Amino acid sequence: MRWLSLVGWGVLRGWYSPSNVGFDVRLRKLKNHLIETVAFQFGFGQHLWNVTVDQMMNYSRMLVGIMVVYVWTPALAKLSLLALYFRLNPDSKIRGCIYALSVLIVGYSLAITIVAAGPCNPQTHTDQKCLTDLNLFMAIINILTDAMILCLPIPMLYALMLPMKQKILLGMVFALGSG
């Protein structure tokens, strides 16, 4: 919670801009690329029948790191978009929604990270149902937060004094930016 208030304060003062958050996302993507490059040595991206048992054991050790990066990359992208909306919209209701969505995104990302590293760790938990359920939960919550983020700029666009065609086109630009 303290981190979110620092980010909010930084956004208000102009220190923590969406481009800085975008830089964080690019760093995470680089880390994701590096992890996947190392994981290719252990059978990542190959058919199961081409993977040796030794490669599979090493891959299961790397799976937690891969999952952590996989969880936080879209979360940081969403936080970047929320920071942009925070700067564009001075309405207190919309900013409250932005804070709530930020807490939700950081909360579920942290929860998934803890569950993936603890109870669903593939090294200690051999049942794949736990990982499957975790991935299903992550997909559902990502879709829901994406839909909420897509709806955030609608009141701002509605209040603009532009022709309807321009409002629709601007809405499409926001929708493309969040996809």
Per-residue pLDDT of the chain (179 residues; tens, 9 = 90+): 444 444 444 444 554 455 555 556 666 667 667 666 776 777 777 777 787 888 777 777 777 777 777 888 889 889 988 998 899 888 899 999 999 999 999 999 999 999 888 888 777 777 778 888 888 999 999 999 999 998 888 888 888 888 888 888 888 887 776 65
- In this prediction, residue 2 carries a pLDDT of 43
Nearest residue to 71 (alpha-carbon basis) of 109, 107, 103, 101: 109
Q: How far apart are alpha carbons 143 and 19 in whole angstroms?
A: 24
- In this prediction, residue 141 carries a pLDDT of 94
- In this prediction, residue 145 carries a pLDDT of 93
Q: How far apart are alpha carbons 118 and 108 in whole angstroms?
A: 15
Burial of 92 (0-12, 13-18, 19+ CB in 10 A): exposed
Q: How far apart are alpha carbons 94 and 143 in whole angstroms?
A: 20
CB neighbours of 158 closer than 8 A, spacing ≥ 6? Answer: 167
- In this prediction, residue 5 carries a pLDDT of 45
Q: How many CB atoms lie within 10 A of CB 165?
A: 8
- In this prediction, residue 3 carries a pLDDT of 45
The full set of domain ranges for the chain reads 2-178
- In this prediction, residue 8 carries a pLDDT of 47
